[in-house]
A = this chain, B = another copy of it.
Amino acid sequence: MGHKTKGTNAERQIIHMFFDTGEWAVCRSAGSGSAPLPNPDIVVGSSKRGRVLAIECKSVKSDFKYLTDEDIKQLDDFSNTFGAEAWFAIRFDKRGWYFLRSESLEKSSGSSFVVTLDFAKKNGLTFEELIAIDRKMKA
């Protein structure tokens, strides 16, 4: 299975996860060729939760994923303009999905960030944790 196909399957899996909650609607992006500026893989919204999330999906077989400054800047720029929360969704093969806010990522060396599985477990959210956040909920 090619890199592109794998990425698309990961996206499709996330789309179904959101859809199956019954509380989220999903716009899957047609891709970078179609828009004047880079945009994230999916944008999801929930009127019930009062939230909009811009999500860049990554899938890796190893225990770590490199993200470049550019990956993070592009997601942040889009999210700031749109008015969305910026999230990276990383699927570690057979160990599931972790969701990380771009500001939680630690610079490793030069212009890239490394997200290890350990880091993701400590600093990321599972899907269930991610969608449990409710902007409309009173504390």
Contact = CB atoms under 8 A, between A and B. Distances in A.
Q: How large is the interface on A (under 10, 10 to 19, 20 to 34, 35 or more residues)?
A: 35 or more
Nearest to A83: B47
Interface stretch (A56-64, A74-82, A87-95, A112-120): A74-82
Interface in A5-51: 12, 15-16, 19, 23-31, 34-37, 39-40, 42-48, 50-51
Given A45-B52, A83-B46, A84-B45, A39 B12 contact: no
Q: How many copies does the complex hold?
A: 2
A35 B46 contact: no
Given A30-B30, A31-B30, A50 B15 contact: no
A35 B47 contact: no
Nearest to A22: B81
Given A29-B28, A83-B52, A34 B46 contact: no
Contacts of A80: 47
A19 B34 CA distance: 12
A50 B83 contact: yes
B35 A82 contact: no
Given A50-B83, A81-B46, A84-B45, A39 B16 contact: no
Contacts of A50: 83
Interface of A: 12, 15-16, 19, 23-31, 34-37, 39-40, 42-48, 50-52, 78-84
